[in-house]
Amino acid sequence: MKMPTRPQSSVVVQEKTALKKLENVRSDHAKRLDDLAKEQTSDMQKAQLIEVNLPLVTSPIYTAV
């Protein structure tokens, strides 16, 4: 079996580096999406609590005016 020449070896290293960077970007993107989904769920729960307790939430606003 013939050993790859330097230019071929360099291309392989560049390809591996590029694939590693791509995988890191994909992983980071997936983590960000997951974090955003969790934040969205939390925000929806907060909004529902505000709606359920709307009289309590608005009462201080109207009494301050």
pLDDT in tens, 42-56: 999 999 999 999 999
In which domain, by residue range, is 56 found? 35-65
Angle formed by the axes of helices 54-64 and 6-52, nearest 10°: 70
Asked if the structure places residue 61 within a domain, the reply is yes
Q: Which residue has the higher pLDDT, 58 or 30?
A: 30
> What pTM, to 2 d.p., does this model score?
0.65
Q: What domain count does the chain have?
A: 1
Asked if the structure places residue 53 within a domain, the reply is yes
Asked if the structure places residue 57 within a domain, the reply is yes
| Alpha-helical regions (H) of 1-65 | 6-52, 54-64
Is the pLDDT at 63 greater than 90? The verdict is no
Asked if the structure places residue 54 within a domain, the reply is yes
Q: Which long-range contacts (CB under 8 A, 24 or more apart) does 15-24 make?
A: none
